[in-house]
């Protein structure tokens, strides 16, 4: 399968899809620091900066579009969130305007759980209504990086949609695999041992969160959600996740998000914004298998 990656960040979706055997054919990302990472590791992939200036003819043919679109306006960590029509989270509709014209077969979307409650619940309804109006059928699931063997308590909403077919329903039906028997944040993992946890020092606290001072959250094998500084609000976001008892270590922080040294964002902010790679790979493998089976039946 061929992937077009929107709001690509440092390439969490992209690397996950590559690990599933897919090829990245297009990227769109406005952050200049993220662009440096993308250009280093995908030098031959076309990279556009601003989705609001992107024209449909500038997007190469791709089977699937991925998008972890901006969450600031729907995040429950933002006490002043403006909702799905906000300046940043409202870029979802810009993405869909492009999809209406290009018509990719699959869409894989990711955002924070706050999407479900923003605008008193109508934000998520607006997203689903827009997908249906464009002919995309599918569903959504909440998943946690803990369920993928990573030492991080990070919940996200993932939407899978396919154009005019019930293919996405099959992916959602398999999502029961995502709900593992993992402990609550701050407790030791009882199953799904992670190589990242081992390399990060066993049961030592992995991450402490700085929130306007040095109050912190301890974690034994499991770290709290890696988050990015927003600049406009504090909420539950940390501006500088640091490692307990050591200097700030980007490599260990990346391991807790499933990111290899290949996606070497120099600041924790980029990792805090990144899609966890094993999550992206799981969905890529499911979608790819269903896509190819459908292609074989139609051949």
Catalytic residues: 71
User: Whole-angstrom Cα distance, residue 16 to residue 75?
Assistant: 24
Helix (H, G, I), strand (E, B) or coil at 40: helix
Q: How far is CA 186 from the centre of its chain?
A: 22
DSSP-assigned states of every residue in 63-77? SEEEE----TTT-TT
Token pair recorded at residue 292: 């190819």
Residue 227, C-beta contacts closer than 8 angstroms, at least 6 positions apart: 77, 209, 236, 237, 238, 241, 272
User: Whole-angstrom Cα distance, residue 181 to residue 165?
Assistant: 32
Token pair recorded at residue 118: 């923003």
- Residue among 151, 251, 132 nearest 197 (CA): 151
Token pair recorded at residue 44: 């031959």
Q: Which residues are 139's β-sheet partners?
A: 160
Q: How far is CA 251 from the centre of its chain?
A: 19
């Amino acid at each position: 399968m061929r992937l077009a990656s929107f709001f690509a960040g440092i390439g969490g979706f992209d690397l996950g899809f590559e690990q599933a055997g897919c090829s990245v054919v297009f990227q769109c990302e406005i952050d200049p620091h993220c662009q440096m990472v993308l250009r280093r590791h995908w030098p031959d992939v076309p990279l556009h900066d601003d989705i609001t200036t992107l024209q449909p003819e500038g997007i190469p043919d791709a089977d699937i579009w991925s998008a972890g679109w901006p969450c600031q306006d729907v995040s429950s960590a933002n006490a002043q969130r403006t909702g799905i029509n906000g300046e940043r989270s409202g870029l979802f509709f810009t993405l869909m305007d492009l999809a209406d014209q290009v018509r990719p077969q699959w869409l894989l979307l990711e955002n924070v759980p706050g999407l479900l409650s923003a605008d008193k619940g109508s934000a998520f309804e607006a997203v689903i209504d827009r997908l249906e109006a464009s002919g995309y059928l599918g569903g959504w699931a909440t998943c946690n990086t803990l369920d993928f063997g990573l030492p991080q308590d990070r919940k996200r909403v993932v939407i899978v949609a396919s154009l005019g077919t019930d293919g996405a329903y099959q992916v959602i039906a398999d999502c029961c695999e995502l709900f593992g028997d993992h402990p609550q944040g701050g407790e030791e993992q009882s199953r799904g041992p992670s190589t990242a946890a081992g390399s990060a020092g066993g049961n030592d606290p992995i991450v402490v969160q700085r929130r306007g001072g040095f109050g912190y959250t301890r974690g034994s094998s499991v770290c709290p959600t890696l988050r990015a500084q927003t600049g406009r609000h504090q909420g539950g976001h940390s501006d500088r996740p640091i490692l307990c008892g050591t200097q700030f270590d980007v490599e260990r922080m990346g391991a807790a998000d499933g990111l290899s040294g290949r996606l070497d964002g120099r600041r924790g902010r980029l990792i805090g914004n990144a899609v966890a790679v094993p999550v992206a790979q799981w969905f890529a493998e499911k979608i790819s298998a269903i896509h190819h089976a459908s292609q074989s039946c139609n051949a």
